Every structure is written in structure tokens, then in C-alpha cells.
Amino acid sequence: MKPLNNEQKELLFDYCIGLTSPKENDEVELLVSSNPEAAEICKKLKAAISPLESVELEGCPDVLVETTINRVQSFAASGEQLRELLAGEQYKKKPIRIIAWRNWFETAAIAAAVLFIAGVLIPTLGSVRDRSQRHRCQAQMVAGSAVPASPRGLR
């Protein structure tokens, strides 16, 4: 016995709420008789839906029906105008814009931010490099004084 797939579960649900065709009804009945899982799902769905059978359906007011039909007809008439408008807009020539330069103010603001960051970082990095060279020099001087002189002498 294979587990039910989603399509079979949807078919069971549709069957329980009465939305299936006669052919689908036969399919569901065959599925329920051959698969215990399907029978259990169908039983639970029918039990969950059974309280809805006691609800009495009210008729639709005539005014609502007439208003809905009038609105549908007015939208159908305006639909032709909308198609004409869309057809006209589709063949309209549009200027080509370069996205990168679309706004000079944005470009100027980005350039100013880059210059500001560079102006702050370059002196800072220069002083860090200078301190690094000083430390290296001091380390070499300390290391050089600890090393005994070579027998040949200094050059």
C-alpha cells in the first residue's frame, strides 16, 4: 500500500464537500475501498463538515444581483477602452536612460563620501606606517647591539 499523494488528498477533500464529477466520484470510491488511509481521511473530513449541513442557506437579494450584473457590464465596456489605451502605450517611443548616471546629485554625494573617507584614512594609514618603521628600526638597533662584533670589524 502506497501513501496518498497530494493530488489524491485534494480529490478526497473535493469529494467530501461535493465538488467532484461523476467520473471523479467513481475514482474516489475505488480509492476509499482499496486504501484504508483514504477511508480514514474521508471519514474524518465528512465528520468535520457534517455540522455545516444544519446551516440554512439564504437566497441572494435581487438588488445585489442587479448591482453585480451592472458592474460587470460597465467593466466589460471599460475593458475595451483599457485595451486601446494599453495598445497605444505599447508602441510609444521611450527615451533610453543610462541608469548609472540617472541622477547627478547621487553621483556627487557618492564622490564626496569617497573623498572624505580617503581624506581621513590616508593620513591615519601614513602615521601607522611611520610608527611601524620606527618600531622596526628600534628592534634592529636593539638586536644589533646584542650581537657581538665580527672579527673582521665593521665596514
Q: Tell me the per-residue pLDDT of 79-125, one tens digit each, with 9 for 90 and over.
A: 777 677 667 777 777 666 666 556 777 888 888 999 999 888 888 88
- Residue 33: CA atoms inside 13 Å, Cβ hemisphere, count? 6
Are 83 and 111 in a shared domain? no
Angle between helices 6-17 and 36-49 (to 10 degrees): 40
The pLDDT score that the predictor gives to residue 102 is 63
Report how many domains make up the chain.
Answer: 3
Q: Is residue 153 part of a domain?
A: no
Q: Do 33 and 68 reside in the same domain of the chain?
A: no
Residues 40 and 68 in one domain: no
Decide if 138 is inside a domain.
yes
pLDDT at 107: 81
Are residues 45 and 75 both part of a single domain?
Answer: no
Q: Kindly tell me if the per-residue pLDDT of 149 is higher than 70.
A: no
20 belongs to a structural domain: yes
| pLDDT given at position 113 | 92
Per the structure, the complete domain to which residue 15 belongs is given by 6-53
Predicted confidence (pLDDT) per residue in 6-50, tens digit: 888 898 888 988 888 999 989 989 988 998 988 999 899 888 888
Query: Do 80 and 109 belong together in one domain?
Result: no
